[in-house]
Chain A
Amino acid sequence: MKKPAKKVSEITTREELIYALCEAAELEHGLTCIYLFTAFSMKSILDEGIDDIQQDKIRNWKSVILRVAHQEMEHLGLVCNMLNAIGGPQHFERPNLPQDKEYYQTAVPMELFKFSLKSMAAFMAFEKPEISRRDHFGIDENQIVPTPITIHNGHTVQELYEAILSGFNYLDKDKSTQLFIGNPDSQVTDDDLGIGFSDKEYDITLNAVNNIKDAHEAIDRIIEQGEGIILEGDRVIEKHQGLTHRYEKFDRELGQFNRRVIDKENWAKDMKSIVHNGLETIEALEKCGDKIVTKAHLPIIVEAVAEMNKVLDKIKKLSKEAYSAANHKKAEGYREAFTNPAVNDAEGAVIYDISDIPEGSDVPNTHYIAFWKLYQELKTELSNDKTFEPARNVADNPMLNRHPETMDAANIHIVDHPYTREVLELFNAGYETMVDMLIIYYSNDGITEAERKLFMNTAFFPFMTMFIRPVGEVLTLLPITESEKNPLDVPRAGGSFEYYLNTGWMPKTTPEWTYLAERLQQLEDLSGKLARSKKSVKTYMPEGNYKNLKQQMSVLEQSLKRINENFRSGMDIK
């Protein structure tokens, strides 16, 4: 879906709305994979150089990331319901990772990173609420073919959903269009999934979308969980108005500081403007500090202001020098350094208060705040113990292959240890099989109720819990490459969620059931082979981890055997 973004207005046709929802589906799907990868990279046993208190901290952090990932899956489910409601297709296709900032015009690249301050900062950027009002997303008017809606410069996931919401509103009011034409039976709800007594069971709720009210409910839920901003009409409810306005000023000035063009001819003038925006940005952040409610967070703002001042002093000094290509490059470097981790951290402290966290709540109520809190806790832990490393030595973007859309990506590590490659192959094949079942399940196109139930009972529990997670975790124990000298120091692999879309085109009818049964058989066979040949990686890990690997591979073989048997029995395939 990579196409140039352009200045746009509102969504006014079904096609445009479908297009926007497909983009939302891609993002939710991609973020789920990214979050899961990071969660799977976390250490779990004492043999990994952590004490029992650190082990508990890591466990809690992991549970937060997994909870967010589950909610991203819920969001994907809600988008599926919205697509079904308006007659759209199920869209599980997505580009392979890593993807640079330009792909969706996100604030940071979409990459697979282990758990660290860096990954938490990236996650905050994905989930950052859009508090300042900006131009809406949409489509060029008077066009029949949609121009892609992308998260173009400075825009966020939140604004994509706001555009979708306004599209629903527009088309619902348009009397010439019957918007909700989908089959209500194709909607997936909590009851279908059997996920408990209420949304408090798993923090997950899927509502059916059959009318405009349902669409509002679904989008509000997605935005509230992610960014934490409640929409009322087109306005943000601002409980902490004074702080919000100061933050808006900060955000605006920082945006101008970052976007201002530096031109050779206007060097002095441009640099003067940048210095001006920089000063305004710092002053606005200081003023946020005056209004901040949670006073314990004030030092974070003070630190950020100090860091920004340091960089701005360098920019001021540079602005007095004459133009040169080297100085231009320096200026860009300083500008990038101005928005440093301390500033992101301070933004989080301000948004924490604006987000209106319930008093005494230990559970962050939005994804953004959840990640900001993890960032804080990890920062504290690292300052107490410089040797603390909460994640395994997992390489960035450990992939089985390069793909057409990642051919030029810089930060890819191709896994070449033979055993690990086979486990990663198993993971990716299983992931793709699961996704294919999800497409069939959510499409609900001409399949029997019993078949649909079987797909649900295969793809959710147990495939996500007994395949994706254990294999994703096992991969972070395995070396990406062979080494006889320092086997313990070799970087580790991870679940790369590579997607080949081999079966996306297949008709979702009975011949594919046979294909899927064959696929499950291949997975079972490969897992059996891998359970027997694990000794080849014994020297690459501490004894405790090897014990863990042995158990996981043995359970995996059993699980796949049962999944395969149950599927075949349900579909009456020998």
Chain B
Amino acid sequence: MKAKKITKNYLLHFKGWAQGRMPTDPDPSYEPRGVSGYSFALPGEPDMDRIIYFQNKKGVIQRSHTPDIGVYVTGGTEFTTTGTNGDVEFIDKKEITEGHDLFNAKIDLKKKCVFVSENSTVIYNGFGVMNPFIFSVEGKDKSFKRRFYADPKDPKDKVEDYSIKTLTPFMLNTVFMDSVELMSDANVLNRTAFRNERKKLLEEDLAIAELESIILPKDKTLLTTIAALKKRISELKMNDPENRRTRQIGTQVLINYPLNAKHAEVDDQKVKPSADWPITMWLGAWDADSLGFFVNGFIEISVEE
């Protein structure tokens, strides 16, 4: 008699702030400094690289008074099932809390993941597809990694090589323009107050820097800092609730990507899962000043034993 299939499952909840230093409409997709949109590389900062960072690593520019970048597992359930199709049953269930291998595990996107829409040449503008989407979970002694393809039967590295029709189901899907859920989760609470609070702190920094510049009028670093602070403050002043700099903070977009590559990595070992690993996550609280956004989502990982 054939033994029943046993599957280890991890339903993980993750959240935290991410960063994407990318130009915004109507700038072309490859504008390195930001000109006519609302995102900018500041004086002294490197060009915008468009890469989406879920962890604070090389490439992230953490500006002052902005939330720390880092997306982590905050909870979930580990459970084992047996059987297939309509025959599946639980064997055990365990909450993922402090002390669990995967509690506080790092969520990361490998390689250089960007939002691809290329000003509507690839997919409708502002609704890009994340690519390459190689999702990794890195716990203390446990790790997972797998990639999403728009068409797993015809896996292409460049999303540009798919048709709009193939990509449409996977483009960013705006669900709410004024999401209370994200206001609470990201601790934004109020869009304009969130920006004004930041502006006040920067104005205090600017006042100090300008005082210092009286003593050191030719200090290049100080002058660059002042120019950067001024730019941030002038942008934060544009704080009408309808201005997209402010409005976008409340925008929540939904992403449903199944991690569907033929192979995955479990604890650095190559495996061939028999099922997709679905992800449902929302991105929101688009903060034009920090170039950050909040991530909140779930992934279900299933590994046959």
> Interface of A with B (CB < 8 Å)?
44-45, 51-53, 55-56, 59-60, 62-63, 66-67, 70, 196-198, 200-202, 360, 362-363, 457, 461-462, 464-466, 469-470, 551-552, 555, 558-559, 562-563, 565-566, 569
Q: Is the CB of A461 within 8 A of B125?
A: yes
Q: Is B274 an interface residue (CB 8 A)?
A: no
- Min Cβ gap B123→A in Å is 10
Q: Is A66 touching B35 in the complex (CB atoms < 8 A)? A: yes
A66 to B36, CA, bound (A): 7
B28 touches A469 (CB 8 A): yes
Interface flag for B66 (CB, 8 Å): no
Q: Are A462 and B119 in contact (CB under 8 A)?
A: yes
What would be 23 A-B contacts, judged by CB atoms less than 8 Å apart? Answer: A52-B44, A53-B227, A59-B34, A62-B35, A63-B35, A63-B36, A197-B242, A201-B244, A201-B247, A362-B234, A461-B119, A461-B120, A462-B121, A465-B26, A465-B28, A465-B119, A466-B119, A469-B28, A555-B118, A558-B118, A562-B121, A566-B164, A569-B164
Partner of A53, one of B160, B164, B224, B240: B224
Asked if B27 contacts A465 (CB within 8 A), the reply is: yes
Number of A-B contacts (CB under 8 A): 100
Complex: A52 Cα to B43 Cα, angstroms: 5
Closest chain A residue to B44, Cβ basis = A52
- Residue ranges of B at the interface with A (Cβ–Cβ < 8 Å): 25-30, 32-36, 40, 42-44, 118-122, 124-125, 160, 163-164, 177, 220, 223-224, 227-228, 231, 234, 237-238, 240, 242-244, 247
Residues of A within 8 A of B234 (CB): 362
Q: Is the interface of A mostly helix, strand, loop or mixed?
A: helix
A363 to B228, CA, bound (A): 17
Q: With a CB–CB cut-off of 8 A, which chain A residues contact B119?
A: 461-462, 465-466, 559
Task: Please name the residue on chain A nearest to B122 by beta carbon.
Answer: A562
Closest to A558 in B: B160
Given known contacts A198-B242, A461-B119, A559-B118, is B40 in contact with A59 (CB within 8 Å)? yes
CA distance A60 to B40 in the complex (A): 10
Most buried by A among B33, B36, B223: B36
In the complex, the chain A residue whose C-beta lies closest to that of B23 is A465
For residue B236, give the distance in angstroms from its CB to the closest CB of chain A: 11
> A200 contacts B240, CB within 8 Å?
yes
CB pair A67–B36 under 8 Å, yes or no, is: yes
**Within the assembled complex, what's the spacing in Å between the Cα atoms of A554 and B231?**
32
Task: Please pick, from A51, A53, A59, A470, the residue contacting B33 in the complex, using a CB distance under 8 A.
Answer: A59
Contact A466 B224 (CB under 8 A): no
Q: Which of A55, A200, A462 is the one whose CB lies under 8 Å from B242?
A: A200
Instruction: From known contacts A67-B36, A200-B243, infer whether A462 and B26 are also in contact, taking CB-CB under 8 Å.
Output: no
Chain B residue nearest to A559 in the complex (CB): B121
Shortest A481–chain B CB gap in Å is 28
B30 touches A461 (CB 8 A): no
> How far is it, in angstroms, between the C-alpha of A56 and the C-alpha of B125 when the chains are bound?
26
A52 to B226, CA, bound (A): 12
Indicate whether A562 sits within 8 Å of B35 (C-beta atoms), given known contacts A362-B237, A465-B25, A551-B30.
Answer: no
The complex places the Cα of A55 from the Cα of B33 at a distance, in Å, of 9
Cα A59 to Cα B120 in complex, Å, equals 24
Extra pairs beyond A201-B247, A363-B238, A462-B125 (20, CB < 8 Å): A51-B220, A52-B44, A52-B224, A52-B227, A55-B33, A56-B227, A60-B231, A63-B36, A197-B242, A197-B247, A201-B243, A202-B26, A462-B121, A465-B27, A466-B28, A558-B121, A562-B122, A562-B160, A563-B121, A569-B163
